[in-house]
């Protein structure tokens, strides 16, 4: 909880948060930490998050395990349908005391198949895609389990402020777009 | 707090530049599996301007944001940058959204979808491409000039041939690496040098994969992909196209399941996604024990015959009878590669009735016996027979297609292919829409022989008079190879019993006292001559990356090859479709395509006729060698000549659609061939095709001396001794291996140079059944060792005298089998998808090759290794880091529906 409070303190207003992210190149953004991969660093992610809108999704107290909450992010344009779910199992990028709350865009990055309604509670998996059966592991940053997509399922970066869950960024390009922020 | 947060392996891009409307557009095909989906390469200067999201503003010709199934979405893994004419360009490689063949509408696999990431770039994981020739001096590979490297290679080649004979000069090569390259390599080896010491990347000899089909008269690739959508029932043995031939599944088999109610039967010890999906949609998964397929085929045939479900009309018309069998200079059905003057009455029969009589007398054809051998329930076997053969109401025949791949023919090569071929014969498979029999295939078909294999020089001989092609692994081991030219293959880990082979290479190269210590050309040559004269071997390795260990440890000369996208090339796919693979960027450093390296080497060796000025000249010369083959495209050369253009440019005009071979000329028009064995085909003129086209029997009949199909006996007895030896003993399990969807190129691209694939498969894996795992205290994510101390390795050269000399017990009796030990490690995945008693790993992980424990005892009839059946002890040796990480590897079930 300490960390959530810590993040929350940076959220007092959006401007200072963005300024902080851009200035500090903080390696942690939301519930994720990026490794120091050559050519990549926390700065990149921080800069990215700074440019994404911060959008309220839901309250943590109202979440039920395995009951997905649909929302649109980063806008309300085409292909923006995302899904937040409390997996009941710890997950990469997971939010909350159990680190089990994650959110993803719901279009299959192979050919845009709709994955809404394909959540499998027993396995914490999204899929199979109704088009060509691709499967995604929601505990592992939307990694493909088996299938054809050339990208992981785009993961929505989350932040917790008190009881409120916010979307603050996206890892990966949404199917069908050429830029997440230009729909 | 850091342990409270998680780190993905890398940060994926969230935007990608679009190609502008005036971007260069070149066509190519995927470099990986045999399906060869059509792709378009978009190229524009790195500094832009880039394209816009409106249809008129980008070369992809789409309005962004795209809807589902629109094709032409450009994801980050489809984008890279590369030099073109020395200038940095943006490169987008996108499945052709306008394709109406193969990958209709721009469908693609995960592998092809990442093609852009195989392109050389100093800023990516491809930065370690070989850029200059290397020579090992004082044990270290140092850059040298092309001239020095090739002068040494040519001088040593000439010396070895002159002093030790041409059989001491060996070529081991990736046999499908485009027609231009394979033609040049085999022209040098066969026509100029005439050595029998040549083997492909995946066999110890030059062999036929579906050897039983060759004797029956089936071509291995006669089908059209359309057949998978038209069939009522598809029997798939030893593979799952969902995993390995993705677009055949996505675009053709799924189409059949969804629109034609096609029932799919999958025979595989592993329940893969395709098998699970087939089962869900009225099909079957037959969980066969590794290596037991022949018994299944015999039982299916018996059920079909006992119920009278065979295709009587087809059999009457197309099966060789006694008189056919004895025709043609008295050889009859024996006039086939494995039967003529060799095995006498072991396989051939006098037509359908005699074969039926033989079959019904076989113990293994009885349902209860077959069920016991195969481990499949009798009920499922009966259901499968009904599904594929029982006529519908009104007597309408079921259209059945049969497709096989390596699980079938790399466990029990001759018997499995012969027996499933027989099944095809009695079901009327071959030549008609929806009624195909075909291999699904591995690599694309880019092999072209530039000369004839000198069979008479091989020291291997079967009992009788038939020579077998030389087994190169054993030839090397015997110390007979002094110069080994290794092109585009790992050789060591790709061969069975690889640990023993590695020791042989170490002994012949690095452990030899004659090592290069000087940079002086003459001294280098003298040292290496001393090496080869002292029984050692010089390895010249030509590849795109420095490969471990063939390049890093064993080669003295390493030559940098240019590859896909770096020269114009041609190749065929699994339905014989030929396309041009365009050059679209500069090869790294001084790398050159194989054909050009061969041309330089051959000229330095003093051979003439290697002065090609470009890849199309090589292609045009090779076209004549395609005549009469299933990929006959001689007409491209003829027509290009008439039209005053190069054959490559003519083929380029057919884009990603290409042309389906064999091709014929009708006037000035090209006739394609959708299928082989197409006995109902009407479009070939009565007088036969014009010009230089060759019309062989297999175009409109079958590939035997009579044009009819030869039913064969497939006696379980000739396999039983080896199979009994390979059965798991004590706490051993069956160990089998194969491909998995996300990985094609185990040697260089996928797992080695793509973060996206590395996050999924950072190491070799082992699927193990929960019951077997529990007994061994193994959980998903644990590191396990798979070991055997009884890996059979065949030694020495075989002169078969008596008929049983070549079967396993004969080899054991004559001390041709040595038992060695081997191990590999993997990360365990506990899953009910694998059959109890069987474990499954990737077929070729270079660091942990499953082949460490596969038996190096080739099928005595066909010389195929039996890669898919080994046995070993599986033990937990600790936990892998992936067990508790969210960044890499997933242990979820792959068959969730």
pLDDT tens for B516-575 read 999 999 999 999 999 999 999 999 999 999 999 999 999 999 999 999 999 999 999 999
d(CA B839, CA A21): 48
Q: Tell me, what's the pLDDT at B571?
A: 98
Asked if B893 and A113 come within 8 Å (Cβ–Cβ), the reply is no
| B70: closest CA of chain A, how far (Å) | 7
pLDDT tens digits, one per residue of B836-859? 999 999 999 988 999 999 999 999
Dihedral, B521, B522, B526, B532 alpha carbons, nearest 10: 40
Asked if B8 and A40 come within 8 Å (Cβ–Cβ), the reply is no
d(CA B35, CA B248): 7
ipTM above 0.90, yes or no: yes
Closest CA to A66 of A107, A124, A114, A117: A124
**Angle of the B293-306 helix axis to the B367-374 helix axis, nearest 10:** 160
A40, A112, A128 member nearest B10 (Cβ): A40
Chain B residues lying within 8 Å of A3, measured CB to CB? 1, 4-5
d(CA B28, CA B886): 36
| B597: closest CA of chain A, how far (Å) | 34
Best probe of the B interface among A178, A180, A182, by most B CBs < 10 A, is: A178
Asked if A182 and B15 come within 8 Å (Cβ–Cβ), the reply is yes
Adjacent-strand bridge partners of A86? A65, A101
| Residue B491, CA distances (Å) to B126, B475, B627, B846 in order | 22, 14, 30, 11
| A54: closest CA of chain B, how far (Å) | 17
| Residue B623, CA distances (Å) to B27, B107, B499, B627, B849 in order | 21, 31, 40, 7, 37
Asked if B894 and A143 come within 8 Å (Cβ–Cβ), the reply is no
Tokens 């050339």 locate to A150
d(CA B805, CA B799): 8
| Residue B764, CA distances (Å) to B47, B271, B782 in order | 40, 19, 12
Which residue of chain A has the CA closest to B242? Answer: A147
d(CA B765, CA B781): 9
Q: Are B572 and B661 in contact (CB under 8 A)?
A: yes
| B336: closest CA of chain A, how far (Å) | 42
Low-confidence ranges of chain B (pLDDT < 50): 1-3, 329-333, 340-341
The alpha carbons of chain A give a radius of gyration, in whole angstroms, of 16
Report the alpha-carbon angle B665-B667-B670, nearest 5. Answer: 35
| B19: closest CA of chain A, how far (Å) | 11
Domain ranges in chain B with CATH number 3.30.200.200: 24-118
- B724, with CB counted inside 10 A (0-12, 13-18, 19+), is exposed
Classify strands B538-543 and B483-487 as parallel, antiparallel or unpaired.
parallel
State the DSSP code for B248.
I
Q: Are B96 and B59 in contact (CB under 8 A)?
A: no
Asked if A149 and B894 come within 8 Å (Cβ–Cβ), the reply is no
- Take residue B432 and report the two structure tokens written for it: 């008609």
Asked if B896 and A182 come within 8 Å (Cβ–Cβ), the reply is no
Which residue of chain B has the CA closest to A36? Answer: B10
B13, B242, B892 member nearest A125 (Cβ): B892
B68, B75, B110 member nearest A144 (Cβ): B110
Domain B24-118 class in CATH: alpha beta
Q: Which residues contact B222 (CB under 8 A, 6 or more apart)?
A: B430, B431, B436, B437, B438, B630, B675, B676, B677, B698
The CATH number fitting domain B726-884, selected from 3.20.20.70, 2.40.40.20, 3.40.640.10, 3.40.630.30: 2.40.40.20
d(CA B401, CA B432): 10
d(CA B624, CA B610): 16
Closest CA to B713 of B357, B370, B438, B321: B357
- 3-state DSSP assignment of residue B134: strand
Q: Tell me, what's the pLDDT at B53?
A: 97
Chain A residues lying within 8 Å of B740, measured CB to CB? 146
Asked if B896 and A135 come within 8 Å (Cβ–Cβ), the reply is yes
Q: Tell me, what's the pLDDT at B124?
A: 94
A120 falls within a domain: yes
d(CA A167, CA B618): 58
| Residue B535, CA distances (Å) to B204, B460, B552 in order | 21, 21, 21
DSSP H helices in B141-253: 146-164, 179-186, 211-216, 226-230, 241-244, 246-247
Asked if A150 and B4 come within 8 Å (Cβ–Cβ), the reply is no
Tokens 């998978």 locate to B228
Q: Tell me, what's the pLDDT at B403?
A: 98
Number of neighbours of residue B609 by Cβ within 10 angstroms? 12
| A119: closest CA of chain B, how far (Å) | 11
A30 falls within a domain: no
B7, B17, B889 member nearest A35 (Cβ): B7
Domain ranges in chain B with CATH number 3.40.50.740: 134-195+446-572+577-604
A112, A128, A170 member nearest B897 (Cβ): A128
Tokens 């659609």 locate to B657
Q: Which residues of B193-227 are buried (b: 16+ CB within 10 A; e: fewer)?
A: bbbbbbbbbbbbbbbbbbbbbbbbbbbbbbbbbbb
A133, A139, A150 member nearest B77 (Cβ): A150
Q: Tell me, what's the pLDDT at B195?
A: 98
* Cis check: omega of the bond before B549, within 30 degrees of 0: yes
| A61: closest CA of chain B, how far (Å) | 21
Adjacent-strand bridge partners of A166? A56, A159
A109, A154, A183 member nearest B65 (Cβ): A183
Asked if B250 and A132 come within 8 Å (Cβ–Cβ), the reply is yes
B12, B755, B892 member nearest A145 (Cβ): B892
Asked if B755 and A144 come within 8 Å (Cβ–Cβ), the reply is no
Range of the domain at A129: 53-171
A10 falls within a domain: no
State the DSSP code for B889.
-
Which residue of chain B has the CA closest to A177? Answer: B65
Asked if A92 and B8 come within 8 Å (Cβ–Cβ), the reply is yes
A37 falls within a domain: no
Q: What is the pTM of this model?
A: 0.95
Which residue of chain B has the CA closest to A51? Answer: B14
Number of neighbours of residue B52 by Cβ within 10 angstroms? 15
Question: How many Cα neighbours within 13 Å face the side chain of A93?
Answer: 30
pLDDT at A39 over 60: no
Q: Tell me, what's the pLDDT at B333?
A: 46
Tokens 């339905």 locate to B575
Asked if A141 and B1 come within 8 Å (Cβ–Cβ), the reply is no
- Take residue B418 and report the two structure tokens written for it: 């012969």
- 3-state DSSP assignment of residue B581: strand
- 3-state DSSP assignment of residue B571: strand
| B29: closest CA of chain A, how far (Å) | 17
A164 falls within a domain: yes
B4, B114, B890 member nearest A150 (Cβ): B114
A79 falls within a domain: yes
Asked if A35 and B18 come within 8 Å (Cβ–Cβ), the reply is no
In CATH, B211-439 is 3.40.228.10: yes
Asked if B73 and A45 come within 8 Å (Cβ–Cβ), the reply is no
Adjacent-strand bridge partners of B81? B90
Chain A residues lying within 8 Å of B887, measured CB to CB? 35, 92, 140-141
Chain B residues lying within 8 Å of A91, measured CB to CB? 6, 886
For chain A, the average pLDDT equals 84
Chain A residues lying within 8 Å of B241, measured CB to CB? none
Report the alpha-carbon angle B511-B515-B518, nearest 5. Answer: 165
| B701: closest CA of chain A, how far (Å) | 36
Asked if A151 and B76 come within 8 Å (Cβ–Cβ), the reply is yes
Confidence band for A35, pLDDT divided at 50, 70 and 90: low
Which residue of chain A has the CA closest to B70? Answer: A111
Question: How many Cα neighbours within 13 Å face the side chain of B380?
Answer: 20
A151, A154, A176 member nearest B77 (Cβ): A151
- Take residue B547 and report the two structure tokens written for it: 């490969």
Beta-carbon pairs below 8 A across chains A and B: 205
Asked if B68 and A183 come within 8 Å (Cβ–Cβ), the reply is no
Q: How many domains does chain A fold into?
A: 1
CATH number at residue A152: 2.102.10.10
Q: Are B623 and B647 in contact (CB under 8 A)?
A: yes
Q: Which residues contact A21 (CB under 8 A, 6 or more apart)?
A: A29, A46, A47, A49, A50
B1, B66, B243 member nearest A2 (Cβ): B1
Asked if B887 and A182 come within 8 Å (Cβ–Cβ), the reply is no
In CATH, B134-195+446-572+577-604 is 3.40.50.740: yes
Asked if B14 and A137 come within 8 Å (Cβ–Cβ), the reply is no
Closest CA to B276 of B268, B285, B267: B285
| B888: closest CA of chain A, how far (Å) | 8
Q: Are B381 and B299 in contact (CB under 8 A)?
A: yes
Asked if A3 and B4 come within 8 Å (Cβ–Cβ), the reply is yes
| B117: closest CA of chain A, how far (Å) | 11
């Amino acid at each position: 909880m300490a960390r959530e409070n810590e993040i929350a303190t940076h959220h007092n207003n959006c401007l200072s948060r963005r300024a902080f992210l851009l200035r500090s190149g903080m390696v942690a953004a939301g519930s994720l930490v990026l490794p120091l991969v050559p050519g990549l660093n926390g700065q990149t992610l921080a800069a990215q998050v700074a440019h994404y809108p911060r959008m309220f999704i839901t309250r943590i107290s109202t979440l039920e395990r395995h009951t997905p909450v649909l929302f649109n992010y980063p806008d309300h344009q085409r292909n923006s349908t995302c899904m937040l779910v409390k997996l009941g199992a710890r997950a990469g990028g997971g939010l909350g005391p159990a680190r089990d709350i994650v959110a993803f865009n719901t279009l299959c990055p192979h050919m845009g198949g709709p994955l809404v309604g394909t959540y499998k509670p027993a396995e914490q998996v999204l899929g199979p895609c109704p088009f060509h059966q691709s499967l995604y592991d929601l505990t592992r940053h939307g990694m493909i389990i088996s299938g054809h997509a050339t990208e992981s399922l785009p993961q929505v970066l989350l932040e917790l402020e008190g009881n409120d869950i916010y979307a603050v960024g996206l890892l990966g390009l949404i199917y069908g777009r050429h830029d997440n922020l230009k729909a | 707090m850091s342990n409270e947060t998680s780190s993905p392996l890398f940060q994926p891009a969230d935007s990608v530049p679009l190609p502008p409307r005036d971007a260069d557009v070149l066509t190519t095909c995927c470099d990986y599996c045999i399906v060869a989906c059509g792709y378009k390469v978009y190229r524009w200067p790195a500094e832009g301007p880039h394209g816009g999201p409106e249809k008129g503003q980008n070369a992809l010709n789409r309005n962004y944001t795209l809807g589902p199934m629109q094709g032409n979405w450009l994801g980050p893994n489809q984008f890279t940058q590369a030099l073109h004419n020395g200038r940095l360009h943006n490169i987008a490689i996108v499945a052709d959204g306008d394709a109406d063949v193969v990958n209709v509408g721009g469908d693609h696999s995960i592998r092809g979808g990442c093609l852009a990431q195989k392109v050389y770039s100093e800023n990516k994981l491809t930065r370690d491409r070989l850029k200059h020739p290397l020579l090992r001096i004082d044990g270290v590979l140092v850059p040298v000039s092309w001239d020095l490297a090739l002068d040494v290679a040519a001088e040593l080649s000439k010396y070895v041939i002159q002093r030790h004979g041409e059989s001491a000069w060996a070529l081991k090569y990736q046999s499908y690496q485009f027609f231009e390259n394979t033609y040049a390599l085999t022209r040098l080896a066969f026509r100029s040098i005439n050595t029998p010491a040549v083997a492909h990347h995946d066999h110890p000899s030059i062999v036929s994969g579906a050897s039983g089909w060759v004797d029956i008269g089936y071509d291995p690739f006669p089908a059209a992909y359309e057949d998978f959508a038209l069939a009522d029932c598809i029997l798939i043995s030893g593979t799952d196209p969902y995993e390995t031939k993705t677009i055949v599944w996505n675009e053709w088999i799924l189409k059949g399941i969804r629109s034609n109610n096609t029932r799919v039967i999958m025979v595989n010890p592993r329940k893969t996604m395709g098998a699970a999906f087939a089962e869900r949609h009225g099909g079957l998964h037959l969980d066969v024990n590794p290596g037991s397929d022949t018994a299944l085929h015999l039982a299916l045939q018996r059920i079909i015959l006992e119920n009278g479900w065979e295709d009587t009309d087809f059999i009457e018309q197309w099966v060789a009878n006694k008189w056919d069998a004895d025709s043609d200079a008295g050889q009859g059905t024996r006039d086939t590669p494995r039967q003529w003057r060799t095995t006498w009455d072991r396989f051939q029969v006098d037509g359908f009735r005699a074969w039926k009589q033989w079959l019904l007398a076989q113990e293994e054809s009885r349902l209860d016996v077959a069920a016991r051998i195969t481990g499949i329930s009798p009920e499922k076997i009966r259901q499968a027979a009904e599904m594929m053969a029982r006529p519908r109401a009104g007597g309408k025949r079921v259209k059945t297609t049969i497709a096989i791949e390596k699980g079938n023919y790399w466990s029990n090569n001759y018997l499995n292919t012969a027996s499933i071929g027989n099944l095809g014969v009695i079901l009327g498979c071959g030549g008609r829409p929806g009624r195909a029999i075909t291999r699904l295939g591995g690599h694309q078909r880019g092999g072209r022989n530039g000369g004839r294999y000198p069979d008479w020089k091989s020291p291997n001989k079967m009992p009788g008079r038939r020579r077998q092609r030389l087994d190169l692994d054993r030839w090397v081991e015997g110390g007979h190879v002094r110069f080994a030219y290794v092109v585009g293959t790992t050789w060591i880990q790709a061969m069975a019993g690889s640990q023993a082979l590695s020791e042989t290479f170490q002994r012949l190269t690095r452990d030899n006292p004659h090592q290069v210590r000087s940079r002086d050309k003459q001294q280098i040559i003298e040292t290496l001559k001393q090496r080869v004269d002292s029984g050692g071997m010089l390895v010249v390795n030509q590849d795109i990356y420095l490969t471990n260990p063939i390049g890093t440890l064993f080669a003295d000369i390493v030559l940098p090859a240019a590859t896909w996208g770096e020269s114009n090339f041609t190749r065929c796919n699994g339905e014989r479709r030929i396309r041009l693979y365009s050059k679209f960027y500069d090869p790294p450093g001084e790398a050159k395509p194989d054909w050009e390296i061969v041309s330089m080497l051959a000229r330095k060796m003093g051979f003439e006729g290697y002065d090609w000025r470009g890849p199309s000249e090589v292609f045009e010369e090779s076209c004549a060698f395609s005549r009469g083959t299933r990929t006959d495209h001689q007409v491209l050369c003829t027509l290009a000549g008439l039209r005053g253009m190069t054959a490559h440019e003519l083929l380029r005009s057919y884009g990603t659609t290409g042309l389906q071979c064999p091709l014929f000329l009708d006037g000035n028009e090209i006739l394609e061939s959708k299928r082989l064995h197409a006995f109902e085909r009407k479009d070939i003129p009565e007088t036969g095709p014009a010009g230089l086209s060759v019309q062989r029997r297999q175009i409109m009949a079958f590939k035997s001396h009579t044009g009819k199909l030869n039913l064969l006996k497939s006696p379980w007895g000739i396999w039983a001794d080896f199979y009994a030896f390979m059965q798991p003993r004590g706490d051993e399990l069956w160990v089998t291996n194969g491909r998995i969807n996300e990985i094609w190129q185990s040697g260089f691209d996928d797992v080695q140079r793509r973060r996206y694939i590395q996050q999924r498969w950072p190491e070799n894996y082992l699927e193990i059944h929960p019951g077997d795992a529990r007994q061994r205290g193994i959980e998903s994510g644990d590191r396990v060792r798979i070991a055997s101390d009884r890996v059979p390795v065949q030694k020495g050269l075989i002169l078969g005298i008596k008929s049983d000399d070549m079967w396993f017990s004969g080899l054991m009796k004559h001390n041709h089998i040595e038992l060695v030990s081997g191990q590999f490690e993997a990360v365990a995945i506990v899953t009910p998808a694998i059959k109890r008693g069987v474990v499954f790993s990737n077929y070729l992980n270079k660091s942990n090759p499953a082949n460490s424990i596969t038996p190096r005892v080739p099928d005595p009839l066909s010389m195929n290794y039996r890669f898919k059946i080994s046995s070993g002890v599986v033990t937990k040796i600790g936990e892998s880091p992936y067990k508790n990480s969210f960044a890499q590897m997933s242990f979820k079930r792959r068959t969730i529906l």
